[in-house]
Amino acid sequence: MTPVESSLVELFAKDPREPGWLAEARLEALARFRARGLPTSRDEDWRFTSLASLAPVVLERTRPADAEAGAARLGALLARAPGGGPRLVFVDGRLRRELSVIEGLPAGAIVSSLAQALLEAPALVKPHLGRLARPEEHAFVAANAALMADGGFVHLPAGATLDAPIVLVFLASGARPALASPRTLVVAGEGARATVAEVFLGEDGVYLTNAVTELVLGEGADVEHVRLQDESPRAFHVGVVAAEQQAKATLAAHALSLGGRLSRSELRTRLVGEQASVAANGLYMADGERLVDNFSWVEHAVPRCSTTETYKGVLDGHARGVFSGRIRVMPGAQKTVARQMNSNLLLSDDAIVDTKPQLEIFADDVKCGHGGTVGQLDEAALFYLRSRGLPAAEARGLLIYAFVAEMVDLVRAAPLRAAAKGLVQARLPAGARLLEAA
Partner 1 sequence: MTTAQQLKELTQQKYRYGFVTDIEEDRVPRGLSEDIVRLISAKKNEPHFMLEWRLKAYRNWLTLEEPTWANVKYPPIDYQDIVYYSAPKQKKPLASMDEVDPELKRAFEKLGIPLAEQQRLAGVAVDAVFDSVSVATTYKKKLGDLGIVFCSFSEAVREHPALVERWLGSVVPYSDNYFAALNSAVFSDGSFVYVPKGVRCPMELSTYFRINAKDTGQFERTLIVADEGAYVSYLEGCTAPQRDENQLHAAVVELVAHEGAHIKYSTVQNWYPGDAEGRGGIYNFVTKRGKALARAKISWTQVETGSAITWKYPSCILQGDDSVGEFYSVALTNHRQQADTGTKMIHVGRNTRSTIISKGISAGRGQNTYRGLVKMMKGAVGARNYSQCDSLLIGDRCGAHTFPYIEVRNPSAKVEHEATTSKISEDQLFYCKQRGISDEDAVSMIVNGFAKQVLKELPMEFAVEAQKLLGMSLEGSVG
237, 202 Cβ separation under 8 angstroms: no
Q: Is 41 in the site for partner 1 (CB under 8 A)?
A: no
- Name the segment binding partner 1 (CB under 8 A); options: 150-158, 175-183, 219-227, 346-354: 346-354
Q: Indicate the residue among 6 and 358 with the shorter CB distance to partner 1.
A: 358
Q: Indicate the residue among 359 and 414 with the shorter CB distance to partner 1.
A: 359
R_g over Cα of the chain: 21
Residues with Cβ within 8 Å of residue 31, at least 6 apart in sequence: none
Question: Taking each helix axis from N to C terminus, what angle separates 20-36 and 6-13, rounded to the nearest 10 degrees?
Answer: 130
Residues with Cβ within 8 Å of residue 332, at least 6 apart in sequence: 302, 303, 363
Short-list 246, 33, 45, 231, CA closest to 148: 33
Number of residues interacting with partner 1: please give it, by CB under 8 A.
36
- Distance (Å, whole) CA 184 – CA 15: 18
Q: Is 349 in the site for partner 1 (CB under 8 A)?
A: yes
Q: In sequence order, what are the beta bridge partners of 264?
A: 238, 293
Alpha carbon dihedral 113, 119, 125, 130, in 10-degree steps, equals 80
Applying CB under 8 A, among 25, 361, 393, 405 the residue interacting with partner 1 is 361
Q: Whole-number minimum distance, CB 375 to partner 1, in Å?
A: 5
Q: Whole-number minimum distance, CB 294 to partner 1, in Å?
A: 14
Applying CB under 8 A, among 102, 272, 359, 382 the residue interacting with partner 1 is 359
Residues with Cβ within 8 Å of residue 84, at least 6 apart in sequence: 164, 165, 415
Q: Whole-number minimum distance, CB 358 to partner 1, in Å?
A: 5
Applying CB under 8 A, among 24, 52, 55, 362 the residue interacting with partner 1 is 362
Q: Indicate the residue among 94 and 328 with the shorter CB distance to partner 1.
A: 328
Q: Is 383 in the site for partner 1 (CB under 8 A)?
A: no
Widest pairwise Cα distance in the chain: 69
Secondary structure (3-state) at 358: strand
Q: Is 193 in the site for partner 1 (CB under 8 A)?
A: no
Q: Is 360 in the site for partner 1 (CB under 8 A)?
A: yes
- Name the segment binding partner 1 (CB under 8 A); options: 17-25, 102-110, 173-181, 369-377: 369-377
Secondary structure (3-state) at 427: coil
Q: Is 382 in the site for partner 1 (CB under 8 A)?
A: no
- Restricted to residues 322-341, the positions that interact with partner 1 (CB under 8 A) are 331-332, 334
Q: Is 371 in the site for partner 1 (CB under 8 A)?
A: yes
Q: Is 303 in the site for partner 1 (CB under 8 A)?
A: no
Q: Indicate the residue among 9 and 374 with the shorter CB distance to partner 1.
A: 374
Q: Whole-number minimum distance, CB 348 to partner 1, in Å?
A: 6
Applying CB under 8 A, among 177, 189, 191, 357 the residue interacting with partner 1 is 357
121 CB burial (10 A radius; 0-12, 13-18, 19+): middle
212, 184 Cβ separation under 8 angstroms: yes
- Distance (Å, whole) CA 255 – CA 281: 6
- Distance (Å, whole) CA 133 – CA 144: 10
Q: Indicate the residue among 121 and 374 with the shorter CB distance to partner 1.
A: 374
Secondary structure (3-state) at 153: strand
Secondary structure (3-state) at 228: strand
- Restricted to residues 52-71, the positions that interact with partner 1 (CB under 8 A) are none
Applying CB under 8 A, among 121, 368, 385, 426 the residue interacting with partner 1 is 368
Q: Is 317 in the site for partner 1 (CB under 8 A)?
A: no
- Distance (Å, whole) CA 245 – CA 247: 7
Applying CB under 8 A, among 2, 7, 17, 44 the residue interacting with partner 1 is 44
Contacting residues toward partner 1, per CB under 8 A = 44, 48, 331-332, 334, 344, 346-349, 351-376
